[in-house]
Structure 1
Amino acid sequence: MTNARSMLPVPYFAIDSQYRILERSELSSSQFPPTEQFRELVDIGSEEKLERFIRPMQDQRVELNLMYGPRKQPMLFEVHQCWENESIGHLVLIRNQHRLQPLLDSMERMREELTHVTRQASSPLSPSPSPSRHLTSVPRSEGSVQESSKENYYLELHDALVTIDDLLAIVRSTLMESGKDAYTMLLLEQTAHAKELVRKLQQYK
């Protein structure tokens, strides 16, 4: 008869007090890299939380960044633990990526839109780039954006990206303590790329 735990619709692991994997569900096998040590699935920024909170006879929920999928991409999970005794613990993982996904999606849309505008501006036959519907509109004159208005538009966009960087720098230490620094780095990379696109746009006049 098939073990019921192996068929759970969420990732499941059974571990011992040294984080050795004793059992895992089929979903865990398909979503996480193969290993016999649960610690190897934990992102470096979450290792301290693992040791502090995932241990025998604890029952609290813990958020950990785990290496997910074949690319071993850090992904935020809420880990529910239940220990039979000092030697066997059961972990159920619930994905929490949805908390940051709207912000990541917004950054990705901005990157795609700036890339599109850059391609338009680089073509000698293309019309003057128009602002995205998601961004502040810029005054037009006789169907084209005035150079001064475009420059102000780019400067405002650049300043907004710098503000995002500054805010991330302020909260980064807190995110590191909670094991979410990988997402801070991802957002910083996105803003850096967007600022580079703005710089290129300013060169097309």
Structure 2
Amino acid sequence: MLQKTNFAALGELESEHAPSHSVFGFWLYLMTDCVLFASLFAVFAVMSHQFAGGPTGKDLFDIPGVALETALLLLSSITYGFAMLGAHRRKSGVVLGWLAITFVLGLAFLWFEVQEFSHLIAEGAGPGRSAFFSSFFTLVGTHGLHVTVGLIWMVVLAVQIVLKPEMSEREITRLTCLSLFWHFLDIVWICVFSFVYLGSVL
């Protein structure tokens, strides 16, 4: 009887510390997202000189403003890293604090992006103006949509932590998946900043 109890306890311990397939599955999802963004970058590369006699990126892009956007997103990646450090130490208060800062930085990034889109449309350079701006709005807008999803996901995780401050491995796994997603968006944005913005004005 004691032997069976020991085996049962061992089984529970192993199941608790068994490697999660969630992170591996999420890596697979990120690979599909890589294909999506690679396709959008390829389309932009083909359309990058199709201005239809209209304005170019060099005429309208505000590089200092975009550089500020980039700094905000990169800083949010650092603050999310601090949240993960708190998660591994099982300090829910620390996690919530850094998630809040990360959320504000991500929201500020989106605000600047919306302002940029509004400015371009007001200048007559909307998605229908030329193939260049059509591919630009599609690429940058898709990234912005991903950031929006990440912010919503962040709020959901924060609510779960508030309701259940005793963080388990499941909560840490969820935070890890969002961490992968958030850092992935940083990498994509660095490519956008370098290839789309700087490449268009140089």
* TM-score, structure 2 normalization: 0.38
Higher helix share: 2
Higher strand share: 1
- 1 or 2 for the larger relative contact order (CA 8 Å, sep ≥6)? 2
